[in-house]
Chain A
Amino acid sequence: GENVEQHPSTLSVQEGDSAVIKCTYSDSASNYFPWYKQELGKGPQLIIDIRSNVGEKKDQRIAVTLNKTAKHFSLHITETQPEDSAVYFCAATLGGAQKLVFGQGTRLTINP
């Protein structure tokens, strides 16, 4: 069926290093790709999003890239800090069904 696959499920990096999380999607009609950060016991919060007419978007230490041909998109966090430790989710809208589908999540741990 139509879904979003996210890798890796866990990621541990040293403070100051970069972290990359990758997602693939199956619906070629998908046109909106948000990334969410979830802290323990809370609801997810949007950190960055990208639309299908753009290949890359950057916001300070966070960037997202989109390859529509390969149907994958990635989150890049540079100069990681302890407060970046959280669970990150990618998502994609399924164009025909008009719904937002999430990946399985990545638990990111920043080691001091």
Chain B
Amino acid sequence: DGGITQSPKYLFRKEGQNVTLSCEQNLNHDAMYWYRQDPGQGLRLIYYSQIVNDFQKGDIAEGYSVSREKKESFPLTVTSAQKNPTAFYLCASSRDVNTEAFFGQGTRLTVV
């Protein structure tokens, strides 16, 4: 089945550790996005990529890093510099910015 997959669904890490969240899509989409969602909050854009080997910072990029070495993959690393990393992280992809974005099921990261 075509779709976008995030893994793992739940992730626990100790404070001070870097952690990488996986996002893979087989929809042949050029654009991919990472959003952060806090309880009762909207979706805030962390990073986005319109094409392979290129990406831009979103509104809350500090403490995060990404790579886009393959069209299908857009992993997000939450670094120890992110002061409040516990949140629900959503990855999405679309053919381009003006078409439907498909979301993964999300990764709930808890840092203790």
Contact = CB atoms under 8 A, between A and B. Distances in A.
A5 B99 CA distance: 21
Nearest to A51: B98
Contact of B42 (A46, A97, A105): A105
Interface stretch (A14-22, A37-45, A54-62): A37-45
A102 B97 contact: no
B48 A49 contact: no
**B interface residue count range (under 10 / 10 to 19 / 20 to 34 / 35 or more):** 20 to 34
Contacts of A100: 33, 45, 48, 92, 94, 97, 101
A39 to B, nearest CB: 11
A104 B41 CA distance: 6
Chain A: number of interface residues, binned into ranges? 20 to 34
Interface in B19-77: 33, 35, 40-45, 48, 50, 56, 58-59
Interface of A: 6, 31-32, 34, 36, 41-46, 49, 51, 89, 93, 97-105
Given A46-B102, A101-B59, A102-B43, 8 more contacts: A43-B105, A46-B100, A93-B97, A98-B50, A101-B45, A102-B44, A104-B42, A105-B41
26 contacts: A32-B97, A34-B100, A36-B103, A41-B106, A42-B106, A43-B103, A43-B106, A44-B43, A44-B103, A46-B101, A51-B98, A98-B97, A99-B45, A99-B56, A100-B45, A100-B48, A100-B92, A100-B94, A100-B101, A101-B59, A102-B42, A102-B43, A102-B45, A104-B42, A105-B42, A105-B43
